[in-house]
Every structure is written in C-alpha cells, then in structure tokens.
A and B are shown apart, each in its own frame.
Chain A
C-alpha cells in the first residue's frame, strides 16, 4: 500500500514535457500538422504567424479594403475576428474590418451566440451588422420549421444563410467577405461534393478565395488550419455546434464530419490530405460545366434559372415546402408555367429575395 502511494507521487506522465518551441512552459497540445508538443502561448504565436503567412502568400487583402467577417458567435468566427483584428494592427494591413451576423430567427439559438458577437464587437472594436432571415426572406426559421417539420430544414437554413451573408456584405459595401471555415469544413465539403458528383463545386471548394469575378469575393484564411481547440477554450464562445443547432438532427453533413473526425483520429494529417486531393482534382477540359448565370428573379449568382433560395421561397410561399428539396429540375423546367401562374395571382406575400444590386 505504502509503495503505491510513492508511485502515485512519482513523476506524473502528464506535465512532464516542455514545449518544443519555447522550452519553458509545459506543453499543452500536439499540433496535428507537425505533431510537435507545444504550450498554449506558443500555439497562439505559431497560429497567428501561420495565418499571417496565408494572408500574405495568397495576397488575400489589399490596403484600404473593407472586409466583412462572417460572425456566427461560434469558435471559428470568434477566433477569426480576434486574429484578423490583431494581425491588422500588428502588421499594418490597413483594413477596415466589420462583423456581419445572420439571425435565422431560431428561438433560443442565436441569443447566446449574438451575445458573443456583441462581445466581440466591443472587445475588438469592430462595427457589427445583424441581418435577419425575416428581413431578407419574410420567414424566420421557426416559421419554416413549423411548416415543414424537422426534416430537411437544414436545406433552407444553409441556402438562406449563404445568400444572407452576401446580402449583408452588400449592405456594408465591403470589398470582401471572410469566413472562419477551417480545414475540417473544407475536407468535409470535398467529400460531400465527391459523393454528390458535383464537379463544379468540387473544383472551386478548395480555393482560398472564391467568387473573384463576382461582386463580393469570399475568402477562408483558416482553410488549412485545423485545431484551435485551445483557443476555443480561451474564448467565450456560444454553444454553436450543429449538435445544438436544434433543428438539424438529420443533417447529412454530420455524417461526413464524423467520418473525417474518425479518420483524423487514425491519422491526423488525413484532413489536410483530403484538401490536397480536392485541390489536385483535375477536371477534363471536355467536361461540360454548368454555366454560372444569374437568378432571373433576384439576380443572385445561380447556375439555374432561379437560385436555390428563390426556389425554396417559392415553395414556402405557395405552401409547397418540399419544392426544391432534392431535385430542382422539375421546377426550373416548368418554370414558364409557374411564372405565369404566380405573376398573375400575386400570391407571394413575402418579400422576393432581393432588391439589392450586387
């Protein structure tokens, strides 16, 4: 018994190793990229440098640009707001930064996270713009869920959110929109696009900047950065996980995410390798790609006649919420017929999804 007690006080397995960078403090995590064991302080420094390099090497920003940070109140965007405001000052990027938040209108869901964003607004002194689904589309997510139930509502939320960010960015008259998508998200998207056979998206989903020919390009400075787990711990962030996204018990994405996390456990580099594979995917030049045009109804970029949001809204407003979920071919083919019907009846009570010029 006595010897056991001695054993227990013998060198603990944890806390024994020092940070491989500063060699002063106790290591607190393993970087998945390098497997170095480093301390929190050095992790911040290394991480910030990494993002600075990404920004400089990819010429993400030009001095004097107005940049909107897509801020959800979750870990990624909170860290993004912090890192960008920090680097902007430290390296004199000369950027005008703004926070842009979307309120989907889910009771009890955004409250916490909007609080987080408001805190970021004060902490980093960045002006905040909140845009709601109600304002943009005439529907809150609560109302949509009431109509269509818990299945498939992620489709609505996702499609609406994507446009909402662009529209909010247009309101703020910014030059670029940055989002906190990290390596996990990109890897997940690569897999999903392969599974869906969506060659057009597959070929652009790994780019650090997208939509450069469009009105508001987007970029993802965290594209190849995986773990800011310790950062999450240090920031007070909202409980913004899909597991808490109360309306998304069946989100398809979740399976891909879980698969990726399983892979990561076996081999941490797997995530970066998937991104690399996505980047290296070459699509034969003879492949016919869908042409990017504009939605005939709201002007948003769309490869179809109507953009997805307009199709979904149409369904909602006509009381056929399943419209646009799954294959959209039906609607876009029958478009002319539909257009006549709807134009004639003025059945649309909600706002059409756009009056903004891009």
Chain B
C-alpha cells in the first residue's frame, strides 16, 4: 500500500533528515487492514535511524508528537486503530520544545 509519510518539527533528524518518505507498507496479514498501530512499528523498524525513544513511547508515539492522517488529527480517527488506505498522507510533528 502506497503511503506518504512526513516528519517535521525535528523528527526528520531521526530519519536521516529526510522529511518526506514515499513508502510501501503492507498490512500484517493478507486480507487485514493496515492500522496506525502497525504503521508505527513499521516506521520504527524501517525509517527511524536513531533515538527511537524520541519518536515512540510504549506502542504509541511519544506524548507531544502530533499525528495527522490526511490533515486530520488522529485523535478524531481513532488513534492507533485508525485504518489507513491507499495514498493516505500521514504527518508526524514533534511539538516538544518548539520555540
């Protein structure tokens, strides 16, 4: 499944300073939907090169990291349970310590 992932507010530094990643992520199992939960662990394994604790805490993002799915705060779409679809755009922005 094609997705566009964007990292901002300093998070891009954790993945080689690349802000926008066009990626192909498959659901955990055939016929299953791709959820944010799975995407997060995929990102952690495949994109985050250093200091993963700056991005995640437990199985979700670190408090203070804002997640937008298609321009919409993931709080409105079910957070970890949000189901992703083809061509979705997911944005991660760190709001910690912004000046």
- The chain A residues found within 8 Å of chain B, CB to CB, are 1, 4, 8, 12-15, 17, 26-30, 37, 40, 72-77, 180, 184, 227, 229-230, 232-233, 237, 239-245, 253-254, 257-258, 261-262, 264-265
Contacts and interface: CB of A to CB of B under 8 A. Distances in A.
A240 B64 contact: no
Contacts of B15: none
A13 B68 CA distance: 14
Contacts of B98: 74-76, 232, 237, 240-241
Nearest 7 Cβ contacts at the A-B interface:
A242-B97, A14-B77, A74-B99, A241-B10, A261-B63, A244-B10, A72-B99
B21 to A, nearest CB: 16
Contacts of B81: 13
Nearest to B54: A243
Contacts of A180: 99
A1 B31 CA distance: 7
B75 A14 contact: no
B43 interface: no
Nearest to B51: A243
A261 B76 contact: no
A72 B97 CA distance: 12
B30 to A, nearest CB: 10
21 contacts: A1-B31, A4-B31, A8-B85, A12-B85, A13-B81, A14-B69, A30-B75, A72-B99, A75-B98, A77-B99, A227-B95, A229-B66, A233-B71, A237-B9, A239-B9, A243-B13, A243-B54, A243-B96, A258-B62, A261-B63, A261-B96
Contacts of A27: 72, 76
B9 to A, nearest CB: 5
A243 B82 CA distance: 27
A289 to B, nearest CB: 30
Nearest to B91: A233
B20 to A, nearest CB: 13
Given A74-B99, A257-B97, A239 B76 contact: no
A215 to B, nearest CB: 24
Contact of B33 (A8, A240, A245): A8
B31, B85, B95 interface centre (most CB from chain A within 10 Å):
B95
B8 to A, nearest CB: 7
Contacts of A12: 77, 83, 85
Given A15-B72, A239-B8, A241-B97, A258 B64 contact: yes
B13 A244 contact: yes
Interface residues of B, number: 35
A244 B99 CA distance: 11
A242 B9 CA distance: 10
B99 to A, nearest CB: 3
Contacts of B54: 243
A13 B10 CA distance: 30
A14 B72 contact: yes
B16 to A, nearest CB: 13
A77 B98 CA distance: 9
A253 B99 CA distance: 13
A258 B53 CA distance: 12
Interface in B31-69: 31, 33, 54, 62-64, 66, 68-69
Given A13-B77, A229-B66, A258-B64, A242 B96 contact: yes
A142 B54 CA distance: 24
Contacts of B75: 29-30
B99 A76 contact: yes
Nearest to A7: B33
Contacts of B63: 258, 261-262, 264-265
A28 B73 contact: yes
A267 B18 CA distance: 33
B76 A17 contact: yes
B28 to A, nearest CB: 15
B9 A15 contact: no
Contacts of A37: 76
Contacts of A254: 96-97
